[in-house]
Structure formats: C-alpha cells, structure tokens
Homo-oligomer: A and B are copies of this chain.
Amino acid sequence: MVPKKAVILAAGLGTRLGKITEETPKGLLKIAGREIIYRTIKVLQDLGIEKFIIITNPKYIDKFKKFVENKGFNAQIVINEHPEKGNGYSLYLAKDYVDEKFILVMSDHIYEKSFIERAVNGEGLIVDETPRYVSIDEATKVKIKEGYVEDIGKNLKEFDAVDTGFFVLTPEIFKSAEKIISEKGKAELSEIIEKAKVKVTPVNGFFWTDVDTPEDIKRVKKLIIQNSVKGSGDGFISRYINRRISTKISYFLVDYVTPNQMTVISFLIGIFSALLNFINIPLAGIVYQISSILDGVDGEIARSCMRTSKFGGYVDSILDRYVDFAFLIILAYVTITEPIWWVIVGIAIFGSVMVSYSTERYKAAYGTDIYKDIPTMKYLIGKRDERIFLTMLFCLVGQIKALFVLLAVLTNLRVVFTVYLVWKYKKD
C-alpha cells in the first residue's frame, strides 16, 4: 500500500542559489516550465498520495500558499519559525500531521516518474547505488549494514550508496528526532536517520538529482529535456540527427512556447515546405527535413513541462499525415505527367500513411505500443523521420521518380513486415 500522506521539507533558504532564492524558494523554482515540487507532487498525487504537508519558513509562506491554491493541491503549509535549527527540526514539525506511514521528500530534488513509482513502495531511506546525475562529492553517502543505515554523511570515505532525499517513514522517526532536538536544540535529517537506523531500499538507474547552484538549474533543465525524448517510435535519423537538434531547440523554447503552439508551428512549416516545391525542389526538401526536426519539439516540451495530452498527440499525428501527403502530392504535381508514374506516386503516398496506420491500428487492437511488444519493429526502416530524410536527399539530387519508386517499395514492404511480425508474435 502506498502511503496516504507526503511531507515536503522546504524550509531551507537556498543561499547557494544567491539572488534567485531571495524572491522564490528553491522548491518553487521553475525548471523547464514547472516548479520543482509541482513535478514531485503531481506524480505522487497520480500514484494515490492524498495529502501533502509542506514545511517552510515564514519568508516563503505566502508563495507556497499561492502555489498550492493555484494548482488545487490538497496541501497543508506548516511554518518552521526556526529554519536555523536544521532540516531535522522541520521534519519534527510534521509530527502533528501524520499518524501512519508517510513519505518524506526534499523540495529541491527532481525525480523522474519511474523513480517515484518504485520509491513509494520502498521502506525507510531510498538510496541509489549507481547514481548517474549527482556529483558524488556533494552527495550524502550511506553505509548500509544488513539492509539498515549504519552510517550517513557527506564525508564518509566508505559507502554503499547515495541518499536520494526520498524516504518512506513511520511516526516512530519522531522519537529519534525528539531525542536529538532535546539534547542539542537542533537536528539535521541525516542525524535522525542515523540514530533511528532506518531500513534502506535501493532504487537504482533512474534520473533524479538536486538543485543547489545556478549551474544546477541549467544542468537539470538540460537533463529534463533529454529525458523527455519518447524514442519508442524513433527511426535512425531521429535518433542520430533530429533528436540532437530538437532537444537543443526545446531547451530554448520550453519556457516560452506551449506544446500546442509548437504543433501548429511545425505543421505550418511542413505545409510551407510542401508549397516550396512549386518554386525550388531542393530547398523544399531541406525545409521539409527542418519541419521533421521541429516535429519532435512539441512532444519534448509537453513531456518536459508535464503538459502532455491525448488530444495533443492525436492532432499532431493527424497533421503529420497531412504534411507528408501535401509534400508528396505537390512534388508529384510539379514533376510527374505519365499516368503510370502517377500510379507509383499513389502507391508511395498510400504506403506512407499505411506505415502509421499499421502501427496505430496495432495499438487500437492490442492496447499497447507495437515497439514495446515487438522489439524487432525498432529495426524496420521506413519510419517518418527516415522517409523525410530520404526525400530531402533525393530532392537535393533531383531524382524524384527514383524517390517515388523507393518510397512505394519501402513503405509497403514495411507494412507487410509489420503484419508478419504481428502474426509471428501476437497471432492469437
């Protein structure tokens, strides 16, 4: 069972971020279009966590109240009048608000969804034995003994894993907190965790990191965009060319352009490339390839700032079909005259739609992604990014008839292979 409540520690002053945090607490910094804690709360909420307790200091209280109200989150703001008493003291203040197993998470940490999905089912301190996105120097290290915390701290020389800032705790923890506070008048979270000798659950291999410095903000934004590449339906051109450029574009646009706006922009550029065939075919091919690169940006932005929508994906894929059709039919109109060649154009256009139809119809029938169910599908060429790249190349060298023959063969062979693979793997 997933805990019902989550405590978020957000009382730190984030001094290492300098000017930025004079106005805005770290947790409310927008990175790639979303506040850091929005990302955590949204995912936790979708997983069934019902209530959030945000511990913050008096300076930021209004900001958090406004944020929680705006987003409609079921959250309680608790004030820590003494942030100088350490983040363990902040945790202690949650005592009156939780009475069973709860999640504890830091407001300046970002986690990908798959991490959180696993972490909420863990117990005690969630650690990462193979952290890829945090610097080991800066990280809080953990020495584990028989599944429990033995030692924890930034300066451990021997350690087994790294503290991810994500915990699944029971109210037992407040006893250890109380002892330390009554002895020292303050407490760090790591002291409490060490004293309580909590369990350790490893969750390895996912993207998570924390934000401490202005450089971190840029680094994290870049990582979020990179993690937003969907990939499952990407062909070779997408993987090795388009995505490298589109993620850079997304990095710059994510704060200014909505996914829907980007869908419209790349559609219009696609239609523009089609019309360019009337004037200059090689140029049309180049602009078509540019529109293909931009076609990835709307999805990347949508996933980066957690604004994906089924309708967005639906419209995007319909518009892609119209762009491809417009490009090929106008290219044919300005170059092809003989009916027999028009038949080949027809086969190429039809085959291009059928490539998408055969994969989407699979999802409609089986309810799952064909690329996940049938890994061989990834190596079948003829995906949109590959077709567009080929189209550009043939436009550049002016071999239009050869292009249509190639597309006619390539796309329909791909459909035949797709049906064969579905038969082989999923025939009943």
Q: Residues of A at under 8 Å CB distance from B?
A: 309-311, 313-315, 317-318, 321, 325, 329, 332-333, 336-337, 339-340, 342-343, 345-347, 349-350, 353-354, 356-358, 360-367, 415, 419, 422-423, 426-428
Contacts and interface: CB of A to CB of B under 8 A. Distances in A.
A329 B315 contact: no
Contact of A310 (B321, B333, B426): B426
A358 B315 CA distance: 9
A350 B353 contact: yes
B415 A361 contact: no
A311 B374 CA distance: 14
A274 to B, nearest CB: 12
A318 B360 contact: no
8 contacts: A310-B365, A310-B366, A311-B423, A314-B362, A315-B423, A321-B350, A325-B346, A346-B349
Given A310-B365, A364-B364, A365-B313, A318 B357 contact: yes
Nearest to A342: B342
- Residue picked from A318, A366, A415, A428, most chain B C-beta under 10 Å: A318
Q: Is the interface of A mostly helix, strand, loop or mixed?
A: helix
A127 B317 CA distance: 49
A357 B310 contact: no
B314 A365 contact: yes
Contacts of A364: 360-361, 363-364
Contacts of A354: 318, 321, 353
Nearest to A311: B427
B315 A419 contact: yes
Question: Which residue, of A309, A342, A364, A422, has the highest number of chain B Cβ atoms within 10 A?
Answer: A364
A415 B333 CA distance: 23
Contact of A361 (B317, B325, B350, B419): B317
B332 A346 contact: yes
A366 B357 CA distance: 16
A360 to B, nearest CB: 5
B345 A346 contact: yes
A54 to B, nearest CB: 27
A317 B313 CA distance: 22
Contacts of A310: 365-366, 426, 428
Contacts of A360: 357, 360-361, 364
Contacts of A365: 310-311, 313-314
Nearest 7 interchain pairs by C-beta = A363-B364, A342-B342, A310-B365, A360-B364, A329-B346, A353-B353, A314-B365
Contacts of A366: 310
Contacts of A349: 346, 349-350
Contacts of A311: 365, 422-423, 426-428
Contacts of A336: 339, 342
Nearest to A363: B364
Given A318-B354, A332-B339, 16 more contacts: A309-B427, A311-B423, A311-B427, A311-B428, A313-B365, A314-B362, A321-B357, A325-B346, A329-B343, A329-B350, A349-B350, A357-B357, A357-B360, A360-B361, A360-B364, A361-B364
Contacts of A315: 419, 423
A318 to B, nearest CB: 6
A326 to B, nearest CB: 9
